[in-house]
Amino acid sequence: MNWRQESVIAKKPKILTDVRFEHAVSFVLSHEGGYSDDPDDDGGKTKFWISKRSYTHVDVDTLTVDEAKNIYKRDFWEPQLYKDIKDVNLATKVFDLEVNMGSNWAHRLVQRALKSTGQDIAEDGVLGPMTLVAINKADLSDLLAALKSEAAGYYRTLATTQPRRAKFLKGWLKRAYA
């Protein structure tokens, strides 16, 4: 990252970053709910989206909300630099998509949304300095609308190509447009 890119990326004090994370994780938890063990869900036994398949060392049955929040912060929020997205609602949306579909797809969709709003950005699935700069200079309402549309398209394709998971489409679309 060069000095020009750094100057565009918002630097947030820790207390503000924590407030932003709390806002984002509350939004995610409103979609992720409690315990689930649906055979059509690839995650298997899951609580607050934390799956036994991905977190073999975690006792999903007794997982608390605070433990889930710590996992979200450590494994999702902090490594992806969501704190550097100026608008908390956009940071929350990308974070929410990452939790549900993984970082590569969430970041590809934001890059596609950026392209649809006229930004010249590579679609590589990485939320790097160039993507952050593009996000922070984009028109927020256009970018959020495009991102929601991209997410809905992703979920529709998933339901079509994996029919056993089509039963989740209504919930996915609700999440996409939230």
pLDDT 10s digits, 48-58 = 989 988 999 99
* Token pair in block for residue 172: 């996915």
| Plot region of 75 (φ>0 → left; ψ -120 to 50 → alpha; else → beta) | alpha
* Token pair in block for residue 47: 């609580």
pLDDT 10s digits, 74-99 = 999 999 989 999 999 999 999 999 99
Contact (CB, 8 A) for 143 and 86: no
Instruction: Label residue 17 by pLDDT band (50, 70, 90).
Output: low
pLDDT 10s digits, 114-164 = 999 999 999 999 999 999 999 999 999 999 999 999 999 999 999 999 999
Instruction: Label residue 40 by pLDDT band (50, 70, 90).
Output: confident
Alpha helices in the chain (DSSP H): 3-8, 14-32, 65-72, 88-101, 103-116, 129-137, 140-161, 169-177
* Token pair in block for residue 38: 């649906």
State the pTM of this model. 0.86
Domains of the chain (ranges, CATH numbers): 3-177 (1.20.141.10)
pLDDT 10s digits, 97-109 = 999 999 999 999 9
